[in-house]
Amino acid sequence: MQDPFDQKKSYILQEIASSVLDASPKGTIDEPCWPIIQTINSHPDMVTTSSCSGRVSVFLEGVKQSDAVNRSIGAKGHEGRWLFVSHDPKELSGWYNRMNFEYVSSGFQIGASTRYILFKFEPLILHVKCRNTIMANRVYQAAMACGFRESGIGTNDIVGIRISIKLDIPIGYFDNQIFKIMVSEEYLQLATKLAEDRFAENFRKLQQLERSMESLRVLSAEASSHIETKEERRERKRKEGLERQRLKRENDDKNSTSQVWSKLTK
C-alpha cells in the first residue's frame, strides 16, 4: 500500500504536469518558480502545494459592511478586484498610463465605507508539504537561514516560506464608478521604483533559497545511495526520536507561554 505522503505527492505532480488551471488569479505557475519547484519536487520527502514568485498589483477593495464592528480591513471579497497585476518587473514601466485613472488633488470623498485603491508588492511565497516533522524542520531552518523570517510550520507538516519585503500603499479610492487617484504621477513613479527594487531582492532571495533546497536534495540522494547498517539505523532512529521530543517540548513551551499570557491579559 502506498504511503499517504507518496499518494498526495503523486496527485500534486499529476496536477502540475496537466494543463488544468490552478486556483490562483493567474491560473498557472509563475515562470521564475519553475526551477525551485522542480528542485523541491525531485526530493523524495518534499512537494510544493502552492507558489507565487512575487507580484505587483493595484487592488480595489470590496464593498465594506455597514456594521463598524464587523468591517474588515482590505475587503478582498464583495466585489474587490485587481485593476492591474504583474509578476514581471519589465512590465511595470508606465503602468499607470494604461489605467483609466482620474487624478484629484482636493475634495476627497472619504468615509467609513470608502473602497480604497492600493498599490501592492507581494514577495515570493512557497508552501512545501513534507513527509514528516523532521523534514519540515529542515526545510524551515533552511528557509530561515536564507532570510525568509516570516516562515513557519503549519498543520500536516506544511512549511510556509515567506519574506517580509512587501509594499501596501493607498493611492486613491473608488467613487461613483470612477477610480480617483489622490497622488501624482511622480509619486506613482516612486512607488514603482520601490517595487522594482523589491523585485530584484525577491529574485535574489529566490535563487539563494533554490541553492539551499538543492543542497537538501543532494544530501538526500547521498543518504539513499548508502546501505545503512543495523547500528547506523539504530543511531538514526535514536536521533530522530530525540528530535521529535525536542520539537514537542518547544511546542508545549509555546502553548504554555501562550496560556499564561492569555490569563495575564484577561
CATH number listed for the domain at residues 4-225: 3.30.1960.10
- Determine phi and psi for 2, rounding to 5 degrees: -70, 140
Structure confidence at residue 68 (pLDDT):
53
End-to-end C-alpha distance for the chain, whole angstroms: 50
> From first to last of its 266 residues, what are the pLDDT tens digits of the chain?
668 999 999 999 999 888 665 556 566 899 999 999 999 999 999 999 999 999 999 999 998 776 555 555 655 667 899 999 999 999 999 999 999 999 998 888 888 889 999 999 999 999 999 999 999 999 999 999 999 999 999 999 999 999 999 999 999 999 989 999 999 999 999 999 999 999 999 999 999 999 999 999 887 766 655 556 778 778 767 877 787 777 777 767 766 665 655 555 55
pTM of the model: 0.77
pLDDT score for 46:
96
Domain ranges for the chain, please list them. 4-225, 231-265
Total count of residues recorded for the chain: 266
pLDDT for the residue 28: 82
* pLDDT value of position 113: 86
Contact of 98 with 92, CB cutoff 8 Å = no
Of the candidates 150, 159, 194, 165, which has an alpha carbon nearest to the alpha carbon of residue 43?
159
